[in-house]
Amino acid sequence: MGILSSSLSLTRYRVFQKIPDDFWAEIPDRLKKHKFKDIDQTADERSFGWTSFDDMLDTNWSLASPHKGHYLAFALRLDTRRIPPAVMKKHLRLALDQARMELESKGQKFVSRDQKKEIRENVQLKLFARILPIPAVFDVIWDTSAGTVYFGSTSPKARELFQDLFTNTFELHLEPRNPYFQAAAKTDPDRKKQLDEMEPAIFI
């Protein structure tokens, strides 16, 4: 669900580094450098990158700027091809049967492990070329005045992908705004060790 939806899941982050004033003018170029690249006409398994908050097909921000007052709004798009297990099993079986027939005609009695691996990779590549990728879009809102970044997902894999791409794009690091980091930010440095040594308690 997008950030403009009536309900959604969010992960909050804090940018804890000091950002120079001229950095904000670089945002469009930085986003375009790491923009999403379409894989519909390829056999690639997945592609990811930034795209417009307003239109996931607008990877050049032609319709709307990512700047929204003191906010930045853009999105992470991830396209993934998935081969249903039953489809893979069927076509792998057909390819292996064909390979056995061809090898037997040459006097080879069985398909070697390396040959099986190569056959599997070829089958996977052919199926990827026939399957359209499934798009997923995760909204990003960056409150530049507060240094807070909102990411429209709580999925661990999506969060990891977002954090890595954010760092590569902006050369900045994100700190999750979970209860631990919230407490650590307001705790005296001398008492932080106590926070690190706390263990969860079960009350049932």
* C-alpha distances out from residue 157 to 1, 153, 161, 163, 164, Å: 16, 10, 6, 10, 11
Rounded to whole angstroms, how far apart are CA atoms 104 and 111?
Answer: 9
Q: Say if residues 168 and 31 touch (Cβ distance below 8 Å).
A: no
Longest dimension (CA), the chain: 78
Q: Is there a single domain that holds both residue 25 and residue 116?
A: no
Domain assignment present for residue 197? The answer is no
- For tokens 């407490």, name the residue: 183
Q: pLDDT tier at 173 (50, 70, 90 boundaries)?
A: very high
Q: pLDDT tier at 60 (50, 70, 90 boundaries)?
A: very high
For residue 168, the tally of other CB atoms under 10 A from its CB is: 11
Domain assignment present for residue 202? The answer is no
Rounded to whole angstroms, how far apart are CA atoms 54 and 42?
Answer: 26
Q: Is there a single domain that holds both residue 106 and residue 178?
A: no
> Which residues constitute the domain of residue 22?
11-81+138-186
Q: Is there a single domain that holds both residue 19 and residue 75?
A: yes
Q: Is there a single domain that holds both residue 20 and residue 69?
A: yes
Q: pLDDT tier at 16 (50, 70, 90 boundaries)?
A: confident
Domain assignment present for residue 24? The answer is yes
What's the number of domains the chain is made of? 2
Domain assignment present for residue 191? The answer is no
- pTM (predicted TM-score): 0.79
